Amino acid sequence: MLLVKNKAICPYCCKVFNLSRKQKEKLKSGITKRAYCSHACASKNKKTKRLATCANCGNEFEPNRTQWSQYKRGVIKHMFCSIQCVGAFYSGENSPRWNGRRSVDERGYVRILLGDRGGYKYEHRIVMEEKLGRKLRPEEDVHHINGNRQDNRPENLMLLSDSEHGRHHATLMWEERKAVNR
């Protein structure tokens, strides 16, 4: 900024203007380094366009000051042009809660999400079907030999009918009670 007596050049519009008493005092004391010819030029100069690219759709947009500041400080990793893009980006594999389409149900069995419609199937049944090379019938059960419902290795799974499976667990429970009562 060029100063000649009481005149200065506006850093935004390059117009020569007369400095006010307050502007002179602020420049001399070091409170400010620039003086503008009007409030409009001052606000336009402060509003430099910062363009960012949306992490979801790739469109360029001008983020607000808070979003830009948080991005520059590393508080947020991605910037988005709309709330719809945020939702679309953080769904599926980009979600922080994504676990590879696997979840554990309330009984401790691992379930696998099939397709995008939200249908689940138990992992031990999928593994047994692959081992046998056919679909399991509804009356067939898969037993975990070591008792760990999340250990779905083929060598840990045994195919039993409903009645055989019930009998097997009844025998195991009877043997446990017998061992505790000794």
Q: How confident is the model at residue 116 (pLDDT cuts 50, 70, 90)?
A: low
Side chain identity at residue 70, one-letter code: Q
**pLDDT (tens digit, 9 = 90+) per residue, 59-72?**
999 888 888 888 88
pLDDT at 123: 93
CA 138 and chain centroid, separation: 38
Enter the pTM of the model: 0.49
pLDDT score of 16 more than 80: yes
Within 10 angstroms of residue 172's Cβ, the number of other Cβ atoms is 11
Within 10 angstroms of residue 55's Cβ, the number of other Cβ atoms is 18
**pLDDT (tens digit, 9 = 90+) per residue, 126-173?**
999 999 999 999 999 999 999 899 999 999 999 999 889 889 888 888
Q: How far apart are CA 129 and CA 125, in angstroms?
A: 6
For residues 31 and 2, the model is more confident at 31
Half-sphere exposure of 18 (CA within 13 A, CB side): 2
Alpha helix locations (H) across the chain? 21-29, 39-46, 65-73, 83-89, 123-132, 162-181
Determine contact, residues 3/32, Cβ cutoff 8 Å.
no
Name every residue whose Cβ is closer than 8 Å to that of residue 37 and which is 6 or more positions away in sequence: 10, 12, 13, 15, 17
